[in-house]
Amino acid sequence: MVAYGLVTVLGLQFTQKSLPFGLNQTDARLVLLSTTTSMAAASGYFLYLLSTKFSGSSCSYCLLSALLSFSLFFITLKDFGLPEIKKELGLQLFVAGLVIVTLNSSYSNSRSGPSSMDNINLPYFPTEITSESTPFAISLAKHLNSIGAKMYGAFWCSHCLEQKEMFGREAAKHLNYVECFPNGFKKGTLMEKSCAEVGIEGFPTWVINGKVLSGELEFSELAEASGFPLDKATQSPNLVQ
């Protein structure tokens, strides 16, 4: 937020030709370039973590932030000519490298800290679904059940709960859901054999017609994978997400 705020202030001041902190235009442009470079580098590192360390997870805010950060970086870079870009390349590489090294060090320390998985001991608890089901969700859930489709999840998985909330209370009862940690979770706990045999890399995981699909899926994706005709939802477009 500090970085976004600084970029906003400098951008507005540039249009008014009055720069804060006694900066001249050249110095202000360098500050703006360094800031947007650090933002783009940080977003790139976060996307790397998301795709490699949290496979199967989704983060719309991360993707939006990355889009904004890289957009601001390229907009700022566009104002520099090629000779200037070559001249400031060393500064950009230094800033990007410093950001990545700092974030990587912070991430490594957090993984080895006292809040790591070593201290987690979660007794099993049932999750409560609060949303109402649409007729389309109920029909899709019944269809998935009839073809033997399975949803594998964990009681502590927020994405699993969100997937069930998407279906709603009534439809979720028809899903063939497999709990992979029915006895709770702590260090050394193995997931159920039926889950391990699927080769699960993240939760939730769907197995539909022999295909393994990871992550929280939209109705349209589930319908396509299972061969459920979407034209059943055309009578009410709000039923399918």
Assign residue 184 the CATH number of its domain: 3.40.30.10
Residue 234 has pLDDT above 50, yes or no: no
SS3 letters across 76-136: HHHCCCHHHHHHCHHHHHHHHHHHHHHHHHHHHHHHCCCCCHHHCEECCCCCCCCCCCCHH
pTM: 0.51
DSSP tag of 180: S
Residue 113's pLDDT band, with cuts at 50, 70 and 90, is very low
94 and 5 in a common domain? yes
75 and 18 in a common domain? yes
pLDDT tens by residue, 94-109: 888 898 898 888 877 7
160 and 101 in a common domain? no
153 and 98 in a common domain? no
Mean local confidence (pLDDT), 130-157:
96
DSSP tag of 201: -
Residue 8 has pLDDT above 60, yes or no: yes
Assign residue 24 the CATH number of its domain: 1.20.1440.130
9 and 106 in a common domain? yes
Residue 170 has pLDDT above 50, yes or no: yes
148 inside domain: yes
214: closest CA among 140, 157, 174? Answer: 157
pLDDT tens by residue, 179-213: 999 999 988 888 999 999 998 888 999 999 999 99
For residues 47 and 175, which has the higher predicted lDDT (pLDDT)? 175
Last residue of a domain, one of 57, 80, 110: 110
Q: How far apart are CA 209 and CA 166, in angstroms?
A: 21
Reading the block at residue 169, the tokens are: 């209370």
Residue 176 has pLDDT above 90, yes or no: yes
For residues 116 and 164, which has the higher predicted lDDT (pLDDT)? 164
Last residue of a domain, one of 110, 132, 154: 110
201 and 130 in a common domain? yes
- The total domain count for the chain is 2
Q: What is the pLDDT of residue 55?
A: 65
67 and 161 in a common domain? no
13 and 92 in a common domain? yes
Residue 161 has pLDDT above 60, yes or no: yes
Residue 72 has pLDDT above 50, yes or no: yes
Reading the block at residue 228, the tokens are: 């459920």
181 and 154 in a common domain? yes
Residue 68: domain span: 1-110
